[in-house]
Amino acid sequence: MADAPSGADVVNNGALLTHEDKIIAVGSAEEILMHPSLTNASMLDRIDCKNQLLLPGFIDCHTHLVYAGDRSREFEQRLEGVSYEEIARLGGGIRSTVTDTRHSAQEDLVRGAVSRAKRMCSEGVTTIEVKGGYGLTLECEQKMLRVARSLETVLPVSVHTTFLGAHAVPEEFSGRSDGYIDLVCSVMLPEIAKEGLADSVDAFCENIAFSEPQVRRVFEKAHALGLPVRLHADQLSNSQGARLAAEFSALSADHLEYTDEAGVRALKQAGTVAVLLPGAFYFLKEQQRPPVNLFRKHQVPMALATDCNPGSSPVESLLLILNMGCVLFGLTPREAVAGITVHAAKALGYSDRGVLASGKRADFSVFEVESLAQLCYPVGTREPSMVIQAGNLVSKNPKP
């Protein structure tokens, strides 16, 4: 291979040795060929990746991949000048996807989610986080999370599931949001945790969603049940979401367009990853950029994700997000790639992936490019020439 970035460092003329689902050595081609575990070099299954770039499997650490319906009518309304918040206040937005998702059979939700996840995998994504949050009843949230879990059984991908019961106030609880939070904390969360359906718990802290005290109740319950938390924070206004996420040692705080320096400092102290979502920023024509320079100044790790969802980010391409992270948020190619590998792994609480190093999962892909800049530069998709997940070759596109 030409280059093998381990962490954020690029190794020229590198090589990588795997056994079963693990990487056992990374180094120069000469070092690897001398590796003690290679007693019989002829037994080697060698793949020549000359003039190509080898990267850790990509991790999409924030998606709402399971949903029914589409929101193109709402897209038109926004083009006519109605805001995202107004649409939500009028009962559209998330609630309209909730109606469609509730009426959708589990098999139909699987079909939609598989087709979206397949497109992600074809770009080199090997781990996806998938949220619930379009059910808002115990039964429908269970249905969504079961669909999310099932993706692992049909595609070469690992899935991290997130319970997002506190995404929106469902219609039947209109004007009674505290009553809905009671249901989330006393019925939904305990049952979801008992069944092992969620790996983490998320909430939407915003004036069109839930208040700080309401999110606090959800997070206290999540911690009591042993589940880590993450938060949709400061997306549309500074609602002190970053501070709240940090207070609960959240794995990640996501969006963060309106976060101030005190919030950034709090994230640093808590070790919380800032997940930036340029797809939603672009699609909602947001004017306020997340405070990237403050994240740099305080050394808060930045991840990038698609936020794939039908309302604010109908984006399935993590490679497009890589480009958007650079163009819209001013990330360097190196920062952008770290955002979908090493920092995305941290945002999911994983230390076994995201870098090419001995002992990590053998999740990686090979691209016919010469540099990280070349990977980030095209607007749109670029197929990897090879993807390996858990040590298995899952796709190979012959060179033209």
> Interface residues with ligand DI6 (CB under 6 A)?
64, 93-94, 97, 167, 204, 232, 235, 280, 307, 309-313
- Minimum CB distance to ligand DI6, residue 399 (Å): 38
Cβ closest to ligand DI6, residue 94 vs residue 319 = 94
Name which of 17 and 250 has its Cβ closer to ligand DI6: 250
Instruction: Considering the complex, state which of residue 184 and residue 337 has its C-beta at the smaller distance from ligand DI6.
Output: 184
**229 neighbors 326 (Cβ within 8 angstroms):** no
Q: Which is nearer to ligand DI6, 148 or 280 (CB)?
A: 280
Pick what 312 binds: ligand DI6, Fe ion, none; C-beta below 5 to 8 Å, kind-dependent: ligand DI6
Q: How many CA atoms lie within 13 A of 348 on its CB side?
A: 31
Q: Binds 311, which of ligand DI6, Fe ion, none (CB < 5 to 8 A, cut-off by type)?
A: ligand DI6
Closer by beta carbon to ligand DI6, 156 or else 279: 279
Total of chain residues touching Fe ion, rule CB under 5 A? 1
| Tokens linked to 106 | 């589990």
Q: Token pair of 190, please?
A: 């305990």
> Hey, how many other C-beta atoms are within 10 angstroms of the C-beta on 83?
13
Nearest distance in Å: CB 298, Fe ion: 23
Q: Work out how close the CB of 203 gets to ligand DI6 at its nearest, in angstroms, rounded to a whole number.
A: 9
Q: C-beta of 139: minimal distance to ligand DI6 in Å?
A: 20
> Residue number with the shortest CB distance to Fe ion?
307
Single out the segment in contact with Fe ion by CB under 5 A; choices: 157-165, 287-295, 299-307, 322-330. 299-307
Please identify, using beta-carbon distances, which residue of 94 and 110 lies nearer to Fe ion: 94
Span of 24-32, 119-127, 302-310, 328-336 interacting with Fe ion by CB under 5 A: 302-310
What span, in angstroms and rounded, lies between the C-alpha atoms of 378 and 171? 42
Residue with smaller CB distance to ligand DI6, 305 or 356: 305
CB atoms inside a 10 Å sphere around CB 23: 23
Say which entry of Fe ion, ligand DI6, none residue 97 contacts (CB below 5 to 8 A, set by partner kind).
ligand DI6
- Which one of 234, 286, 307, 335 is in contact with Fe ion (CB under 5 A)? 307
Nearest approach, Cβ of 268 to ligand DI6 (angstroms)?
Answer: 23
Q: Which residue is nearest to ligand DI6 (CB)?
A: 311
Cβ of residue 232: shortest distance to Fe ion, in angstroms? 6
Question: What's the Cα-to-Cα distance from 324 to each of 277, 328, 399, rounded to whole Å?
Answer: 9, 5, 27
Does the protein bind Fe ion through residue 129 (CB under 5 A)?
A: no
First to last CA, the chain: 18
Query: Could you say which of Fe ion, ligand DI6, none residue 241 binds, taking C-beta under 5 to 8 angstroms by partner kind?
Result: none
Residue number, 144 or 356, with CB nearest to Fe ion = 144
Dihedral of the alpha carbons of 127, 9, 305, 146, in degrees to the nearest 10: 10
Cα–Cα distances in angstroms (integers) from residue 221 to residues 193, 214, 216, in the given order: 11, 11, 9
Write down the least CB distance from residue 317 to ligand DI6, Å: 17
**Contact residues for Fe ion (CB under 5 A)?**
307
